[in-house]
A and B are shown apart, each in its own frame.
Chain A
Amino acid sequence: DGGITQSPKYLFRKEGQNVTLSCEQNLNHDAMYWYRQDPGQGLRLIYYSQIVNDFQKGDIAEGYSVSREKKESFPLTVTSAQKNPTAFYLCASSTTGFSGNTIYFGEGSWLTVV
């Protein structure tokens, strides 16, 4: 089945630790995204990538890092510099081009600081 797979579903981070969230897609999409969702707030864009080996900061990139070494994969690292990392993280992908590009989402990963 085609889709976006995020892992792990639940992750706990200790203070000062870096953690990495995995995202894999088999939709053959060029663009991939990471969003953060907090209660009562809309989805906020962390990073996005339109092509392998290239990515751009979104609206809330501080304290996060990404890589795009393969078309199918776009892992997100939450670093110790992110002061409030507890949130629901969503990976997404889409085609690219000048028509409306529907973004499809994975099932999400919950990150909790302990």
Chain B
Amino acid sequence: EDQVTQSPEALRLQEGESSSLNCSYTVSGLRGLFWYRQDPGKGPEFLFTLYSAGEEKEKERLKATLTKKESFLHITAPKPEDSATYLCAVQPYTGANSKLTFGKGITLSVRP
């Protein structure tokens, strides 16, 4: 069974204090690992897809990296507007359109 564990559950940072969010996974062959941002009361917003170990992707203050067992979302010099819940999900190689398994999310609060 595919599993995704995100840590920590919650993270409070001072504005400008860089940190990383962790997503550990077990999957029967990884097709893709996805990161989403979710604001309170809203649907998740797509951030990144990573396909193979060693891959990195960046967007503004965010950088996502991938190994064979985990993914990190690095936040450099965060701002209060980066406060949100960050979700990680994995998609296995089991058919033409296999289902995503989501972690519980990491709630990030950035204080000014």
Contact = CB atoms under 8 A, between A and B. Distances in A.
Contacts, number: 64
B43 A31 contact: no
Contacts of B89: 43, 103
Interface residues of B, number: 25
A96 B42 contact: no
A58 B98 CA distance: 11
Given A40-B104, A102-B49, A45 B99 contact: yes
A21 B46 CA distance: 23
Nearest to B97: A96
- The majority secondary structure among interface residues of chain A is loop
Contacts of A43: 44, 87, 89, 100, 102
Interface of A: 4, 6, 31, 40-43, 45, 48, 50, 58, 88, 90, 92, 94, 96-108, 110
Interface of B: 4, 31-32, 34, 36, 41-46, 49, 51, 87, 89, 91, 96-97, 99-105
20 contacts: A42-B101, A43-B44, A43-B100, A45-B99, A45-B100, A50-B96, A88-B41, A90-B43, A90-B44, A92-B43, A99-B31, A100-B51, A102-B34, A103-B34, A104-B46, A105-B45, A107-B43, A108-B41, A108-B42, A110-B41
